[in-house]
Amino acid sequence: MTDVVRPAPGLRAYVDGATAVLAEAGVASPRHDALALAAYALGLPRVELVLPPPLPDGFAAELAGLVERRRAREPLQHILGSTVFRYVTLRVEPGVFVPRPETETVAQLAIDEAAALAARGARPLVVDLCTGTGAIAVAVDTEVPASRVVAVDLSDAAVGLARANAGAVGTADLRVEQGDVRDPALLAELDGTVDVLVSNPPYIPPDAVPLDPEVRDHDPDLALYGGGADGLDVPRAVIVAAARLLTDGGLLVMEHAEVQGEAARAAAAATGAFTDVRTLPDLTGRERTLVARRVARPPVGDSPA
Protein backbone atom coordinates (compact mmCIF):
# COMPACT_ATOMS: atom_id res chain seq x y z
CA MET A 1 0.00 0.00 0.00
CA THR A 2 1.50 3.33 -1.01
CA ASP A 3 1.24 6.41 1.12
CA VAL A 4 -0.93 9.19 -0.25
CA VAL A 5 1.01 12.42 -0.62
CA ARG A 6 -1.25 15.29 0.29
CA PRO A 7 -0.60 18.62 -1.40
CA ALA A 8 0.57 21.45 0.82
CA PRO A 9 -2.19 23.86 1.85
CA GLY A 10 -2.67 26.81 -0.47
CA LEU A 11 -2.84 30.44 0.48
CA ARG A 12 -6.64 30.38 0.72
CA ALA A 13 -6.49 27.62 3.30
CA TYR A 14 -3.99 29.54 5.39
CA VAL A 15 -6.09 32.72 5.20
CA ASP A 16 -9.26 30.79 6.09
CA GLY A 17 -7.52 29.27 9.11
CA ALA A 18 -6.16 32.63 10.25
CA THR A 19 -9.60 34.20 9.84
CA ALA A 20 -11.15 31.56 12.08
CA VAL A 21 -8.51 32.04 14.78
CA LEU A 22 -8.90 35.82 14.77
CA ALA A 23 -12.70 35.64 14.75
CA GLU A 24 -12.64 33.37 17.79
CA ALA A 25 -10.34 35.87 19.55
CA GLY A 26 -12.90 38.66 19.02
CA VAL A 27 -10.96 40.62 16.41
CA ALA A 28 -13.42 42.99 14.73
CA SER A 29 -12.23 42.43 11.13
CA PRO A 30 -10.77 38.91 11.05
CA ARG A 31 -10.81 38.37 7.27
CA HIS A 32 -9.27 41.75 6.51
CA ASP A 33 -6.58 41.23 9.12
CA ALA A 34 -5.81 37.67 7.97
CA LEU A 35 -5.31 38.89 4.40
CA ALA A 36 -3.14 41.79 5.59
CA LEU A 37 -0.97 39.48 7.67
CA ALA A 38 -0.59 37.01 4.80
CA ALA A 39 0.50 39.82 2.48
CA TYR A 40 2.97 41.05 5.09
CA ALA A 41 4.43 37.56 5.51
CA LEU A 42 4.88 37.38 1.74
CA GLY A 43 6.40 40.85 1.50
CA LEU A 44 3.57 42.05 -0.73
CA PRO A 45 1.30 45.10 -0.44
CA ARG A 46 -1.78 42.86 -0.84
CA VAL A 47 -2.74 39.34 -1.92
CA GLU A 48 -5.39 38.05 -4.31
CA LEU A 49 -6.74 34.61 -3.49
CA VAL A 50 -7.99 34.12 -7.05
CA LEU A 51 -4.41 34.14 -8.35
CA PRO A 52 -2.34 33.38 -5.25
CA PRO A 53 1.43 33.79 -5.35
CA PRO A 54 3.73 30.84 -4.64
CA LEU A 55 4.36 30.29 -0.94
CA PRO A 56 8.02 30.37 0.13
CA ASP A 57 9.58 28.01 2.64
CA GLY A 58 8.79 29.12 6.16
CA PHE A 59 5.62 30.94 5.20
CA ALA A 60 3.39 28.85 7.44
CA ALA A 61 5.54 29.49 10.52
CA GLU A 62 5.86 33.19 9.70
CA LEU A 63 2.11 33.61 9.30
CA ALA A 64 1.39 31.62 12.44
CA GLY A 65 3.59 33.95 14.49
CA LEU A 66 1.89 37.03 13.08
CA VAL A 67 -1.58 35.59 13.67
CA GLU A 68 -0.68 34.75 17.25
CA ARG A 69 0.35 38.35 17.88
CA ARG A 70 -2.93 39.59 16.42
CA ARG A 71 -4.90 36.94 18.32
CA ALA A 72 -3.41 38.44 21.50
CA ARG A 73 -4.94 41.75 20.31
CA GLU A 74 -1.74 43.51 19.39
CA PRO A 75 -2.89 46.23 16.96
CA LEU A 76 -2.62 45.23 13.32
CA GLN A 77 -0.92 48.56 12.60
CA HIS A 78 1.83 47.81 15.12
CA ILE A 79 2.45 44.41 13.55
CA LEU A 80 2.59 45.84 10.02
CA GLY A 81 4.46 48.96 11.13
CA SER A 82 2.20 51.21 9.07
CA THR A 83 -1.35 52.33 8.39
CA VAL A 84 -3.17 54.08 5.57
CA PHE A 85 -4.79 57.42 6.36
CA ARG A 86 -6.70 58.89 3.44
CA TYR A 87 -4.17 58.80 0.56
CA VAL A 88 -0.90 58.31 2.44
CA THR A 89 0.81 55.42 4.20
CA LEU A 90 2.17 56.41 7.59
CA ARG A 91 4.65 54.74 9.87
CA VAL A 92 3.11 53.55 13.12
CA GLU A 93 5.04 52.68 16.28
CA PRO A 94 4.14 51.57 19.83
CA GLY A 95 3.86 54.54 22.16
CA VAL A 96 2.09 56.76 19.63
CA PHE A 97 -1.67 56.90 19.06
CA VAL A 98 -2.83 54.94 16.01
CA PRO A 99 -4.94 57.16 13.70
CA ARG A 100 -8.49 55.92 13.11
CA PRO A 101 -10.59 56.06 9.92
CA GLU A 102 -13.20 58.22 11.68
CA THR A 103 -10.65 61.02 11.96
CA GLU A 104 -10.47 61.21 8.17
CA THR A 105 -13.67 63.31 8.25
CA VAL A 106 -11.94 65.76 10.61
CA ALA A 107 -9.06 66.00 8.16
CA GLN A 108 -11.55 66.45 5.29
CA LEU A 109 -13.07 69.55 6.89
CA ALA A 110 -9.64 71.12 7.34
CA ILE A 111 -8.65 70.15 3.79
CA ASP A 112 -11.83 71.62 2.32
CA GLU A 113 -11.27 74.93 4.09
CA ALA A 114 -7.60 75.11 3.11
CA ALA A 115 -8.40 74.15 -0.49
CA ALA A 116 -11.06 76.86 -0.75
CA LEU A 117 -8.56 79.46 0.44
CA ALA A 118 -5.90 78.15 -1.94
CA ALA A 119 -8.36 78.36 -4.83
CA ARG A 120 -8.61 82.09 -4.14
CA GLY A 121 -4.85 82.46 -4.42
CA ALA A 122 -3.96 82.30 -0.72
CA ARG A 123 -1.31 80.16 0.98
CA PRO A 124 -3.39 78.98 3.94
CA LEU A 125 -1.69 78.43 7.28
CA VAL A 126 -2.94 75.28 9.02
CA VAL A 127 -2.06 74.20 12.57
CA ASP A 128 -2.62 70.63 13.76
CA LEU A 129 -2.53 70.35 17.55
CA CYS A 130 -2.00 66.96 19.28
CA THR A 131 -0.78 65.59 15.95
CA GLY A 132 0.32 62.08 17.03
CA THR A 133 1.67 60.32 13.94
CA GLY A 134 1.15 63.53 11.97
CA ALA A 135 -1.79 61.98 10.09
CA ILE A 136 -3.99 65.08 9.76
CA ALA A 137 -1.03 67.39 9.14
CA VAL A 138 0.37 65.16 6.38
CA ALA A 139 -3.08 64.78 4.80
CA VAL A 140 -3.59 68.55 4.61
CA ASP A 141 -0.02 69.10 3.47
CA THR A 142 -0.20 66.58 0.62
CA GLU A 143 -3.76 67.29 -0.52
CA VAL A 144 -3.46 71.08 -0.45
CA PRO A 145 0.08 71.72 -1.73
CA ALA A 146 -0.32 75.49 -1.37
CA SER A 147 -0.84 75.15 2.39
CA ARG A 148 1.72 75.77 5.10
CA VAL A 149 1.25 73.27 7.92
CA VAL A 150 2.54 73.32 11.49
CA ALA A 151 2.00 70.22 13.64
CA VAL A 152 2.45 70.12 17.42
CA ASP A 153 2.53 67.35 20.01
CA LEU A 154 3.67 67.07 23.63
CA SER A 155 5.05 63.52 23.36
CA ASP A 156 8.69 62.97 22.40
CA ALA A 157 7.75 59.75 20.63
CA ALA A 158 4.92 61.40 18.69
CA VAL A 159 7.08 64.33 17.59
CA GLY A 160 9.78 61.97 16.36
CA LEU A 161 7.32 59.81 14.46
CA ALA A 162 5.44 62.79 13.00
CA ARG A 163 8.73 64.23 11.76
CA ALA A 164 9.61 60.89 10.18
CA ASN A 165 6.24 60.74 8.43
CA ALA A 166 6.51 64.36 7.35
CA GLY A 167 9.93 63.68 5.89
CA ALA A 168 8.79 60.54 4.11
CA VAL A 169 5.57 61.77 2.48
CA GLY A 170 5.15 65.45 3.32
CA THR A 171 6.49 68.60 1.72
CA ALA A 172 9.24 70.96 2.81
CA ASP A 173 6.59 73.32 4.21
CA LEU A 174 5.40 70.84 6.86
CA ARG A 175 6.83 71.75 10.28
CA VAL A 176 6.57 69.58 13.40
CA GLU A 177 7.13 71.18 16.82
CA GLN A 178 7.06 69.91 20.39
CA GLY A 179 4.77 71.80 22.72
CA ASP A 180 1.92 71.68 25.22
CA VAL A 181 -1.46 72.91 24.01
CA ARG A 182 -2.09 74.22 27.53
CA ASP A 183 0.88 76.60 27.23
CA PRO A 184 -0.53 80.11 26.61
CA ALA A 185 2.63 80.98 24.67
CA LEU A 186 2.45 77.99 22.31
CA LEU A 187 3.17 79.18 18.73
CA ALA A 188 2.81 82.77 19.97
CA GLU A 189 4.53 84.01 16.82
CA LEU A 190 1.47 82.80 14.88
CA ASP A 191 -1.16 84.59 17.00
CA GLY A 192 -4.00 85.85 14.82
CA THR A 193 -2.57 84.46 11.58
CA VAL A 194 -3.77 80.84 11.38
CA ASP A 195 -6.45 80.06 8.80
CA VAL A 196 -7.38 76.57 10.03
CA LEU A 197 -6.75 74.99 13.41
CA VAL A 198 -7.51 71.28 13.48
CA SER A 199 -7.07 68.80 16.31
CA ASN A 200 -7.80 65.27 17.43
CA PRO A 201 -6.88 65.77 21.09
CA PRO A 202 -7.12 63.27 23.95
CA TYR A 203 -10.67 63.48 25.30
CA ILE A 204 -11.59 60.25 27.13
CA PRO A 205 -12.84 60.82 30.72
CA PRO A 206 -10.87 59.01 33.46
CA ASP A 207 -13.71 56.58 34.22
CA ALA A 208 -14.37 55.62 30.57
CA VAL A 209 -11.58 53.09 30.04
CA PRO A 210 -11.75 51.81 26.43
CA LEU A 211 -13.11 48.29 26.00
CA ASP A 212 -10.98 47.34 22.97
CA PRO A 213 -7.65 45.83 24.08
CA GLU A 214 -5.97 47.38 21.04
CA VAL A 215 -6.78 50.83 22.44
CA ARG A 216 -6.74 50.18 26.18
CA ASP A 217 -3.47 48.24 26.27
CA HIS A 218 -1.51 49.81 23.41
CA ASP A 219 -2.42 53.46 22.81
CA PRO A 220 -0.59 55.75 25.26
CA ASP A 221 -2.62 57.28 28.09
CA LEU A 222 -1.30 60.72 27.13
CA ALA A 223 -3.12 60.42 23.80
CA LEU A 224 -6.33 58.98 25.25
CA TYR A 225 -7.33 60.73 28.47
CA GLY A 226 -8.19 64.40 28.15
CA GLY A 227 -7.99 65.37 31.82
CA GLY A 228 -10.66 66.54 34.25
CA ALA A 229 -13.77 64.68 35.30
CA ASP A 230 -15.29 65.02 31.81
CA GLY A 231 -12.12 64.43 29.79
CA LEU A 232 -12.31 67.90 28.28
CA ASP A 233 -9.40 69.73 29.91
CA VAL A 234 -7.15 69.30 26.87
CA PRO A 235 -9.96 69.94 24.31
CA ARG A 236 -10.86 73.15 26.16
CA ALA A 237 -7.19 74.16 25.94
CA VAL A 238 -7.34 73.50 22.18
CA ILE A 239 -10.35 75.80 21.91
CA VAL A 240 -8.61 78.55 23.89
CA ALA A 241 -5.50 78.19 21.72
CA ALA A 242 -7.66 78.38 18.59
CA ALA A 243 -9.26 81.62 19.79
CA ARG A 244 -5.77 83.11 20.10
CA LEU A 245 -4.15 81.66 16.98
CA LEU A 246 -6.91 81.91 14.38
CA THR A 247 -7.21 84.88 12.10
CA ASP A 248 -10.56 86.64 11.71
CA GLY A 249 -12.86 84.15 9.99
CA GLY A 250 -10.47 81.27 10.64
CA LEU A 251 -11.91 77.79 11.16
CA LEU A 252 -11.61 75.50 14.20
CA VAL A 253 -12.14 71.77 13.64
CA MET A 254 -11.82 69.44 16.65
CA GLU A 255 -12.72 65.81 17.27
CA HIS A 256 -14.37 64.78 20.54
CA ALA A 257 -16.43 61.94 22.00
CA GLU A 258 -20.03 61.48 20.92
CA VAL A 259 -21.33 62.52 24.35
CA GLN A 260 -19.22 65.70 24.49
CA GLY A 261 -20.85 67.74 21.72
CA GLU A 262 -22.88 70.03 23.95
CA ALA A 263 -19.99 70.64 26.35
CA ALA A 264 -17.58 71.32 23.48
CA ARG A 265 -19.96 73.83 21.93
CA ALA A 266 -20.41 75.51 25.32
CA ALA A 267 -16.64 75.75 25.74
CA ALA A 268 -16.31 77.44 22.33
CA ALA A 269 -19.18 79.82 23.08
CA ALA A 270 -17.70 80.71 26.48
CA THR A 271 -14.60 82.19 24.86
CA GLY A 272 -16.71 84.78 23.03
CA ALA A 273 -14.37 84.29 20.10
CA PHE A 274 -16.47 82.06 17.85
CA THR A 275 -19.59 82.11 15.74
CA ASP A 276 -21.38 79.40 13.74
CA VAL A 277 -20.54 76.84 16.43
CA ARG A 278 -21.73 73.40 15.30
CA THR A 279 -21.29 69.67 15.85
CA LEU A 280 -20.87 67.49 12.76
CA PRO A 281 -20.99 63.69 12.30
CA ASP A 282 -18.06 61.38 11.60
CA LEU A 283 -17.95 58.52 9.08
CA THR A 284 -20.19 56.40 11.30
CA GLY A 285 -22.82 59.14 11.66
CA ARG A 286 -21.93 59.91 15.28
CA GLU A 287 -21.72 63.61 16.20
CA ARG A 288 -18.05 63.88 17.10
CA THR A 289 -16.62 67.02 15.50
CA LEU A 290 -16.75 70.59 16.77
CA VAL A 291 -16.62 73.24 14.03
CA ALA A 292 -16.54 76.97 14.78
CA ARG A 293 -15.57 80.17 12.97
CA ARG A 294 -13.39 82.88 14.57
CA VAL A 295 -15.25 86.18 14.85
CA ALA A 296 -13.60 89.40 13.75
CA ARG A 297 -11.55 91.13 16.43
CA PRO A 298 -12.35 94.76 17.23
CA PRO A 299 -10.00 97.30 15.62
CA VAL A 300 -6.94 98.15 17.66
CA GLY A 301 -7.79 100.86 20.15
CA ASP A 302 -11.51 100.06 20.23
CA SER A 303 -13.14 98.50 23.26
CA PRO A 304 -15.29 95.42 22.81
CA ALA A 305 -19.00 96.22 22.87
- Packing angle of the helix pair 103-119, 135-143 (nearest 10 deg): 30
b vs e for 7-19, b when ≥16 Cβ sit within 10 Å of the residue's Cβ? eeeebeebbebbb
Beta strands 125-129 and 246-255, pairing class:
unpaired
Give the strand pairing for 148-153 and 125-129.
parallel
Query: What is the spatial distance between Cα 229 and Cα 226, in angstroms, rounded to a whole number?
Result: 9
Q: Quick check: 144 and 114 in contact, CB under 8 A?
A: yes
Active centre residues (catalytic): 97, 200-201
Give residues with Cβ within 8 angstroms of 44, minimum separation 6: 53
Distance CA 70, CA 33 (A): 8
Beta-carbon contacts of residue 261 (< 8 Å; ≥ 6 apart): 279, 287, 288, 290
The residue among 271, 264, 270, 289 whose CA lies nearest residue 279 is: 289
166-169 long-range Cβ contacts below 8 angstroms, 24+ apart: 166/134, 166/137, 166/138, 166/141, 168/91, 169/88, 169/89, 169/90, 169/138, 169/142
Supply angle C-alpha 116, 286, 153, rounded to 5: 60
Distance CA 37, CA 203 (A): 31
Residue 244: CB partners within 8 Å, gap ≥ 6? 184, 191, 192
